Structure 1
Amino acid sequence: MGTRSNLTFALLAASSALAFPAFAQTPTAPAGSAAENGSSAASEPGGLEEIVVTAQKRSENLQTVPLSLTAFSGDTLEKSAVTSIAELAARTPNVSYDTFSPGQPRYFIRGIGGTASGSARDGAIGIFVDDVYMGRPAMTGTDFVDLARVEVLRGPQGTLFGRNVVGGAISYFTLKPDDEFRAQAALTLGNYRRIDGNFLVSGPISDTLSAKVAVSSRNHNGYAFNETTGKDIEDEQSIVARGALRFQPNSDVDIQLNADISRLRATGNWWHLLREGPNSIGKSNADPRRGRNHTDDGFSDVDNGGVSLNARFQTGIGEIASITAYRESTSSTRANTTGLFVAPLTDPNRGQFHHTLFIQQSDVDSSQFSQELRLASEIGSDISTVIGLFYFHENVKSTDITDYRFVSRNSEGRRRFDGRNKTDSYAAFANIAWDVTDELKLRAGLRWSLDKKDHVAVAGGNNFVPYRDGGVIVPGFTAPGKDSWDAFTPSLSINYQATPTKFFYASLSRGFKSGGFSDTEIEKLSAMTAFDPEFAWNYEVGMKTEWFDRRLRFNASLFYTDYTDLQVTVIRIVDPAFPPFGTTGNAGKVVIKGAELEVNAIPVDGWNIYGNYAYTDSNIKELVVGTADLAGNRLGRSPKHKFFVGTSYETEIGGGYKAAARVEYTYSSSFFSSINNTPVELIDGQRSLDLGLTLTTPDDKWSVDFWGKNMTDRLNINTITEVPLRDGYASFLPPRTFGATLRFRY
């Protein structure tokens, strides 16, 4: 049976095995480029591989790109058993990540970040999958089954990207089907009853048509246990399916239809009373991952799906690229964010239990449409240009529900906020590169962005802080609001290729994050009033070098970011008899400066040493929140020191069989979970030791990976939340996990 028949049979079998359609998205590297299905290309014998990226919308060696950029091939992530964005962030300079719940991730790059919470607030970090922007946090969970590569760009982006981002971008590129038949499958077994499985089939159907199907399933029991309900907390069951049809009638046309669908079911995060405040009448559980909690275990239900059409045409005026995409997302998350068990208000012994209860639920339904057009042209032999247009439309409906109980005040109830927002975003961007000489190059870009938002906030239920309309207490309100913002954001860089292996650059760029509205205001006028955009100027110098016949790679950069109109949670005291209330507003000026180093070396054949280090000083110059002056504080989730180091050694063990051992260690110094910088919110240094051993058959078709993560079982903190009485509640990263993965490739 021929290769095409094999693929057709495999596709039909896969389709009949699925209860829903499964098609996926594709990378945006130029057709036929070395970066299509990976980020590496062969280099000097015995030396480091060349890393090929498309951050500037053309295939380039990472060592000649004037950006702070870290790239991982899908093969590299697989060898390190990286299966989540949290593990990826730990391995990347100045990138951090946390979750309020599995469906509410927050991304941070160089201290800039947060979440696109509510219906009308944008994220500072852009997440792209095959050049498609993911507008809501729940959309950004990406499975690693068919990744070609991941590119992490630090600093403002916008003169080459469809959607402007102020802090940085994380771009995922999936494998593209082509005329090579490939199939792979993997089965993972681990502690906490982990059972993961995935398969991928890709290859030609005819001379002009190729296809891909990839499916992944992940399942594990909970990392914590609620003695009240007798159930595990922080379990997970997820399934992701992607597929693609690629049409290439000739070398000038490349059209790909992609689709994907995913489903996540999990309980909420486990929250532990880590630090008891001076007024606390609660008591921590003896075991931070086990104890009495509320009868509500919470949940996280997330469903995503989308289609895109990526088309490229080689014409007489250059390459025209069109990316058309539509996506939908539904997420519903609920968690007891103050942990512990809360007795009924009528219980005479309630003093032995905790005084406050917050069970928070967030439901978000969103849909988005985006259209991007780009033209990449060459003007003579010295000048190249990229010009583009971008349109983004988004509809979001959100509901935030909080069940609360204040034992000390004999008060309980449920508050509810509903938000509805429509966003229309327009942009035009252009970038020009001029090769002044063979060694000296200049690049300049300019972007114009216009964002329009139409918003309605509805406040209701029984809030613990009474709603107000013009100073008058009301049972609730409906508050419409509408606003728009536009901005010009330029970029400029100069780079010098001193030798074939020594590259130097300097750049400046401006970032813009749109304004918006808050869904959770208690005053009608505030709900109708928009907060302003954020702006950041980033200045950077860097070097990318290779030594000793490309056996050592050393890259370094220095950056300085001037950040203004920071969108922060402003604490308001509306009524002294009740806890303060947080709302989004603009305040302050922040200066962020630091250095980043990346090293990779092959001292002898088979032995690889790799790592990176980041130093960051995020100094708040001006920031008044309520009555507190926060000047001198640091940004949240911004450790001063963060490093990752690893080493691996591969050798033949006889009969053609190979063994590869791996040791990796991640570390970050202490940091605060928010800009308030209170002692309660201080997160101590994070550490994790990962180990791995891989055995591979002589034909490279079969392998087994034995892996372990967080082998010292350190209690690393995901995030800490401080409640009004200065209690600190923490959720945690996974404990020690270990297992084995059996892989097959054809």
Structure 2
Amino acid sequence: MKLRKKVLSSSISSALLVCSGAAIAADPAPKEETHVVVVTAQNRTQQAQDVPIALQIIGADQIDKLAAPNLAEMDGYIPGLSVSAEQPTQPSMSLRGIGTGDFGIGTDAPVGMYIDGVYAGKTGGAVMNFNDVQRIEVLKGPQGTLFGRNSAGGAISVVTREPGRENELEARLRYGKYQTRNVELLANAPLSDSTALRISAVHHGSDGFLKDAKTGASLQHGTDSGVRATLRWDAPARAKVLLSVEAEKLDHMARPAIGLIAGVPAVPANPANYLDPRTAPVFNDAINNGETRDFHGGTLRIEVPLGWATFNSTSAMRRFDSRNRQDNDGTNRITHYVDTENAERNRSWQQEFRLSGNTGMADWVTGLSFYHEKANQTSQVNTNTNTLDTIFGNVAGMPVFSLLEGAGAMAGIPAGLLGNSWQENMHVAGRYKASAIYGDVIWHLAPRLNLTTGVRYTRDDKRFSWYSPTRSANALDSSLQRLQGLGFFDALVGMGAISEMEMMMALGAMTQNIEFTSAGATAKPLEKRNKWNDTSPRAVLDYKLNEDMMVYGSIAKGYQSGGFNALQVNATYEPEKVWNYEVGMKNYYRQYKLLVNASLYHYKFSNLQSLALVNNGSAIPTYQVTSSDQEAQGLDFEARWQPMRDLRLNLSAAYIDQTYKTFTTSDGVKLDGQPVGTPKWTSAFGADYWVRDVAGGDLNFTLQHAYSGATRCNADALQGACLVTPRFRVGSSTQRTDLRAGYEAASHKWAAALFVNNVFDKRYVTGIGNTTASVLGTPYASVNRPRQVGLELRVNM
């Protein structure tokens, strides 16, 4: 009887570990046959409580209960992790306040995203819809000795399901407000005694909650579809081979810009008159507006037991083409028209070899990693001469085009200078090679005492080129050539209507770039090549006070190679380096069925690359990468309690005090010692309750709540992160509450659920776009989604 009780308690503990650190709903209430769930966070099979890393795990059931199609839709429920995919081809993420947000191909990401061990990059292919996911492991702090690519700030590892030996056929349909629909199909079939095939497909679509106030057209409609097929072969000598191929196609409207100005915009824009973007009419007129992605990938994984060790090989190819063209003025005025486009073509190849083993005295893993990437990107600004006329009038007091049009009218000559398109391009290309050798050993110094030592050597070789030709404005050039032939400009100077110097300035303004003004890459591409090397160590000491209680301390160095600013010619950045110091504990109190984990950390980061809006001498400010030295101290905490079989409660929280050590903005604003902006507190709470034997099945009720503190403000007002107006505030604390009520038949053949996301319809202004504010007086905003209600049906055959 005592043995049975101990086994059951251990099973409950293991079930609690499934989502260790994630304050969201857990798997169905455990029964006595609940199996032990393990993680592979350290490239080893371990229970989560035995891993001396601040670790959070999200299971497939938790993803379903949030009705989350991708990781960004879970933002807030993993304290310490921030993910934004409002523009899925230009996502941004940060962990413990470390992240870039840069959508350019010139920099890497300090937070590594991995799909089945394959590095997903940071741009167009980093955040895609979930497709047959088994679990997500979020590792905080530097992880260079554990993954093929260095992850200075942490790693997010997505593990998909492998083909099994049983026949499976499942369909899931989710439908909600704003024509939101999500369809998932799954088929698993054993092909022989040694082979099995698993195919999954997902389709997500929505019409969105915003419509154009003039045309009535949806500003957010679109679809995202993907498919994955995995073939498993259990080869002789207990070897295993997994071949996966996947494809995804995204096609929907780009991020809407909600204009904040009523009537004719003026410069400077007065925040006291800003409209509330949560209720303001939306006008977007971007030509060819849209965001698309076409992705293909293939992965070959081989595992071979050698007796004394296990050999693993991972070979992967990924390729995608993406495009994002969006409105950047929030109006439908021809005199204030600006749109931008970002197009990327990316090809990458990865190879990793890994050996791991256990001698009794030590648990070890060592690996070799090779990564090649070819990326091409075009950043484009599209406007017209009417808008340029407005800009010249606002900035220099000289609306060149309309003045010349007026002079032509007086002379009886139609100038034809207004109403013409104007386009500028920055073409960049990157060719990257990265190789690394790493090793990580867990030394069993005593029955309860372990010392982990690891080291990684990395070599990066990068070539990068910029090419920014003179603006494209064919119709304007034809008009200028015609007027030159008529002697129009010479006549104006001869009449004294304008000085020769003023005419030269006017012609220069009409023929030169206003946005991509960096010299050196106008006639042909300018190329640079840099190489960097780094050695990063890791040391962890952990001690088990008893079977269920562990304390640990760690020191780890993180590294990220240097890079290039995609929007500024010849601008390079030195490598990022971070030292992270951490102590933590992992406890499970069996008699109370209570799990409590916590960690304290302090890090110092040098040359952290961040995206910022910069006034760099061009007419329109641009988003560019800046680097700064930062430091932070923080706390990660989680508690999970199961007071009875059918009730689970969980709480997780993250605290961080992150500040600049040294940093001065391009405008000369000194931010030394000031907050970076990361909220001090983020937290999440979850509760799951089951009602058994109802109409031949079980009812499950889930409540989840996420909180994020206010943005910590600094003196850099250009970013608009702490804007306060009479009608709204940017950077306030946020809250979100989600509910779900589900029913599953006892046969597990079908299930249905009602879900409500953002129950209390909390609305927030999530960001301000000041790209055109200083020259056109057209700031714009983004807002979060309103309440979402939907139904879900799952059928298993």
TM-score, normalized by length of structure 2? 0.81
1:469 matched to 2:529? The reply is no
**Aligned amino acid, residue 631 of structure 1:** D
Q: Pick the aligned partner of 1:385 from 357, 364, 372.
A: 364
Q: Pick the aligned partner of 2:93 from 88, 94, 107.
A: 107
**Aligned amino acid, residue 367 of structure 1:** R
Contact 1:285 1:292 in 2 (8 A): no
The alpha carbon displacement at 1:744 in A equals 1.5
User: Corresponding residue for 1:375?
Assistant: 355
User: Corresponding residue for 2:458?
Assistant: 449
Q: Which moved more, 1:160-169 or 1:228-237?
A: 228-237
Question: What is the DSSP-based 3-state SS (H/G/I as helix, E as strand, rest coil) of the residue aligned with 2:73?
Answer: helix
User: Corresponding residue for 2:750?
Assistant: 702
Distance between the aligned counterparts of 1:38 and 1:315, measured in 2?
33
Once the two structures are superposed, residues 94-124 of structure 1 have per-residue CA deviations (whole angstroms, 9 ceiling, x without a partner) of 0112236232110110110124522321112
Change (3 A) 1:466 1:237: closer
The alpha carbon displacement at 1:178 in A equals 2.0
Contact 2:286 2:338 in 1 (8 A): no
**Aligned amino acid, residue 503 of structure 1:** M
Change (3 A) 1:290 1:571: closer
Matches within 5 A, 1:18-29: none
Once the two structures are superposed, residues 528-577 of structure 1 have per-residue CA deviations (whole angstroms, 9 ceiling, x without a partner) of 352111111111111111114361111111111100112245776554x8
User: Corresponding residue for 2:788?
Assistant: 737
User: Corresponding residue for 1:279?
Assistant: 268
User: Corresponding residue for 1:715?
Assistant: 763
Matches within 5 A, 1:19-98: 51-98=37-84
1:693 matched to 2:693? The reply is no
User: Corresponding residue for 2:591?
Assistant: 549
The alpha carbon displacement at 1:678 in A equals 5.7
Distance between the aligned counterparts of 1:50 and 1:41, measured in 2?
13
Q: Pick the aligned partner of 1:403 from 369, 378, 382.
A: 382
Across the two proteins, how many residue pairs are aligned to each other? 690
Distance between the aligned counterparts of 2:765 and 2:84, measured in 1?
9
Contact 1:563 1:590 in 2 (8 A): yes
Q: Which has the greater radius of gyration?
A: 2
Contact 2:361 2:443 in 1 (8 A): yes
User: Corresponding residue for 1:193?
Assistant: 179
The alpha carbon displacement at 1:318 in A equals 0.3
The alpha carbon displacement at 1:448 in A equals 0.6
User: Corresponding residue for 1:177?
Assistant: 163
Once the two structures are superposed, residues 477-509 of structure 1 have per-residue CA deviations (whole angstroms, 9 ceiling, x without a partner) of 521111111111111100011111111111111
Distance between the aligned counterparts of 1:42 and 1:359, measured in 2?
48
**Aligned amino acid, residue 375 of structure 1:** L
User: Corresponding residue for 2:406?
Assistant: none
1:130 matched to 2:116? The reply is yes
Q: Pick the aligned partner of 1:296 from 282, 286, 292.
A: 286
**Aligned amino acid, residue 393 of structure 1:** H
Q: Pick the aligned partner of 1:654 from 680, 687, 694.
A: 694
Distance between the aligned counterparts of 1:111 and 1:675, measured in 2?
18
Q: Pick the aligned partner of 1:160 from 135, 146, 155.
A: 146
Change (3 A) 1:49 1:70: farther
Question: What is the DSSP-based 3-state SS (H/G/I as helix, E as strand, rest coil) of the residue aligned with 1:247?
Answer: strand
User: Corresponding residue for 2:437?
Assistant: 428
Gap runs ≥5 in structure 2: 1-13, 21-25, 394-398, 400-420, 472-512, 723-730
**Aligned amino acid, residue 431 of structure 2:** K
The alpha carbon displacement at 1:427 in A equals 0.4
Change (3 A) 1:649 1:181: same
1:665 matched to 2:705? The reply is yes
Distance between the aligned counterparts of 1:433 and 1:735, measured in 2?
48
Distance between the aligned counterparts of 1:570 and 1:236, measured in 2?
29
Distance between the aligned counterparts of 1:628 and 1:49, measured in 2?
57
User: Corresponding residue for 2:601?
Assistant: 559
User: Corresponding residue for 1:321?
Assistant: 312
Change (3 A) 1:235 1:301: same
Contact 2:91 2:103 in 1 (8 A): no
Q: Pick the aligned partner of 2:572 from 525, 530, 540.
A: 530
Distance between the aligned counterparts of 1:563 and 1:188, measured in 2?
43
The alpha carbon displacement at 1:476 in A equals 5.6
Change (3 A) 1:89 1:581: closer
1:633 matched to 2:657? The reply is no
User: Corresponding residue for 1:524?
Assistant: none
Once the two structures are superposed, residues 373-405 of structure 1 have per-residue CA deviations (whole angstroms, 9 ceiling, x without a partner) of 0000223x1112111000000000100001243
Distance between the aligned counterparts of 1:178 and 1:494, measured in 2?
37
Contact 1:467 1:476 in 2 (8 A): no
Distance between the aligned counterparts of 1:236 and 1:218, measured in 2?
9
The alpha carbon displacement at 1:455 in A equals 1.2
Q: Which moved more, 1:415-424 or 1:722-731?
A: 722-731
Distance between the aligned counterparts of 2:558 and 2:423, measured in 1?
39
User: Corresponding residue for 1:619?
Assistant: 659
Change (3 A) 1:614 1:46: farther
Change (3 A) 1:311 1:41: farther
Change (3 A) 1:556 1:202: same
* Bigger proportion of residues as helix: 2
Contact 1:42 1:49 in 2 (8 A): no
Once the two structures are superposed, residues 104-145 of structure 1 have per-residue CA deviations (whole angstroms, 9 ceiling, x without a partner) of 110110110124522321112111000010124221223324
Distance between the aligned counterparts of 2:437 and 2:235, measured in 1?
31
Distance between the aligned counterparts of 1:234 and 1:483, measured in 2?
41
User: Corresponding residue for 2:562?
Assistant: 515
Contact 1:42 1:50 in 2 (8 A): no
Q: Which moved more, 1:676-685 or 1:189-198?
A: 676-685
Question: What is the DSSP-based 3-state SS (H/G/I as helix, E as strand, rest coil) of the residue aligned with 1:310?
Answer: strand
Change (3 A) 1:74 1:42: closer
User: Corresponding residue for 2:491?
Assistant: none
User: Corresponding residue for 1:9?
Assistant: none
Change (3 A) 1:324 1:675: farther
User: Corresponding residue for 1:492?
Assistant: 539
Distance between the aligned counterparts of 1:583 and 1:183, measured in 2?
48
**Aligned amino acid, residue 387 of structure 1:** T
Distance between the aligned counterparts of 2:592 and 2:382, measured in 1?
60
Matches within 5 A, 1:232-271: 232-250=218-236, 252-271=238-257
Distance between the aligned counterparts of 1:191 and 1:225, measured in 2?
14
Q: Which moved more, 1:243-252 or 1:106-115?
A: 243-252
Matched residues, percent identical? 24
The alpha carbon displacement at 1:43 in A equals 11
Change (3 A) 1:249 1:475: closer
Contact 2:85 2:127 in 1 (8 A): no
Distance between the aligned counterparts of 1:561 and 1:89, measured in 2?
23
**Aligned amino acid, residue 364 of structure 1:** E
TM-score, normalized by length of structure 1? 0.87
User: Corresponding residue for 1:29?
Assistant: none
**Aligned amino acid, residue 133 of structure 1:** Y
**Aligned amino acid, residue 510 of structure 1:** K
**Aligned amino acid, residue 460 of structure 2:** D
The alpha carbon displacement at 1:225 in A equals 0.9
Distance between the aligned counterparts of 1:64 and 1:319, measured in 2?
21
